[in-house]
Amino acid sequence: MTAVPAPGGPRGRYLGDLALAALAPASWGTTYVTTTTLLPDDRPWLAATMRALPAGLVLLAVNRRLPKGEWWWKAAVLGVLNFGAFFPLLFFAAYRLPGGVAATIASVQPLVVALLSLPILRVRPGRTVLVSALVGTGGVALLTLSADARLDPLGIAAMLVATSMMAVAIVLAKKWGSPESPLVMTGWQLTVGGLLIVPFLLVFEGLPPTVTGENVIGFTYIGAIGTGTAYALWFRGIGRLAPTSISLLGLTNPMVATLAGLIILDETLTAGQALGFTIALGALVAGQALGRRQTPAPAVAVTPPIPVTPAVPVTPSPGTAAPRSEAVSPARTAPPTTVPRPGPRPG
């Protein structure tokens, strides 16, 4: 039997999954511009609540699916890690740190995911992935850091905890799998996270006295596009891609944020920042292209025809019936056997 790769193999599907998942951190890269131009000033709890709860309730109402069994507590854990604790820490760090410092800290997430994958998923991260993650962090630092960047200890601690929590969520989501579609899973987690944030909003900030039309546009964008749609694509990617592969896509976040600043806020890009952008982009491409373990294309079994043995002619004796031929019938062929092919190495 000869194994022939199936037409339109998995490479196209892999690139499609990669592109869709990359849209999530790319949309998160526009959050800073949206926050500074459309949202109320100095309202981190309000921003976190409006980013999570409305989108979660809409998805919950549309899908009309609730968790079952153990997924009540699993959805709650993931909701806290991804939203309930992550969003407040993220906005707290954003108000205390320059965007470059926060982006550089967040870019170490692929390293955290790689380290957690070994004890939790029993997956040893490849050398290429680790090198790409380190190089990507260096590129992001060149792209976003400035000489006068202030280093607030509480802000740094908050960003480190937030980055680590999202890394834990990626690994746990990969380990637990998904009982429902990405939209359903996103609705569960956003609702849990948003409800957790509401009491802190009421205690520390209270409801806003007024909401402008620009505020409504900003909240709608970060809720519907930057959260609901983005996290549905992100969770879909977690289910289809390796944990280290999905986490490396986070490098697109600071790159898109830089481009958004250039286009919308009329910021400028120095030679060092341009070099950092190139390094981060190269690390992202190299990590995906070289770090991916090649998965063989599905084989289509092709069974060669079994030769028919001609029957030996026998002259029948008078009064006896001619013996039936013992030739192998063309319709009676042996079942195809699949030749073992090397499987993918741990990624």
Residue 191 lies in a domain: yes
The pLDDT of residue 2 is above 80: no
| Proportion of the chain in helix, strand, coil states, percent, rounded to 5 | 65, 0, 30
Residue 271: per-residue pLDDT: 85
pLDDT tens digits, residue range 154-205?
A: 888 998 999 999 999 999 999 999 999 999 999 999 999 999 999 999 999 9
SS3 sequence of 229-253: HHHHHHHHHHHHCCHHHHHHHHHHH
Instruction: Name the band, by pLDDT with cuts 50, 70 and 90, for residue 342.
Output: very low
Residue 344: per-residue pLDDT: 44
Residue 291: per-residue pLDDT: 62
The pLDDT of residue 73 is above 90: yes
Residue 296: per-residue pLDDT: 40
Residue 238 lies in a domain: yes
Mean pLDDT over residues 239-253, rounded? 85
Instruction: Name the band, by pLDDT with cuts 50, 70 and 90, for residue 147.
Output: low
Mean pLDDT over residues 49-72, rounded? 94
pLDDT tens digits, residue range 24-45?
A: 989 988 887 888 889 888 888 9
Residue 311 lies in a domain: no
Residue 342 lies in a domain: no
In the block, tokens 């996270």 appear at 193
| Least confident window among 34-48, 251-265, 297-311 | 297-311
Residue 299: per-residue pLDDT: 37
Tokens describing residue 172 = 């746990």
Average pLDDT of the residues of the chain = 79
Residue 199 lies in a domain: yes
Q: Is 78 exposed, middle or buried (0-12, 13-18, 19+ CB in 10 A)?
A: buried
**Alpha carbon separation from 163 to 167, 272, 307 (Å, rounded):** 6, 25, 64
Residue 299 lies in a domain: no
| Least confident window among 257-261, 269-273, 300-304 | 300-304
Dihedral sign computed on CA atoms, order 5, 19, 91, 207: negative
pTM for this entry: 0.73
Per the structure, the count of domains in the chain is: 1
Residue 111: per-residue pLDDT: 84
Residue 298 lies in a domain: no
| Least confident window among 126-130, 218-222, 293-297, 298-302 | 298-302
The parent domain of residue 194 ranges over 2-6+24-291
Residue 62 lies in a domain: yes
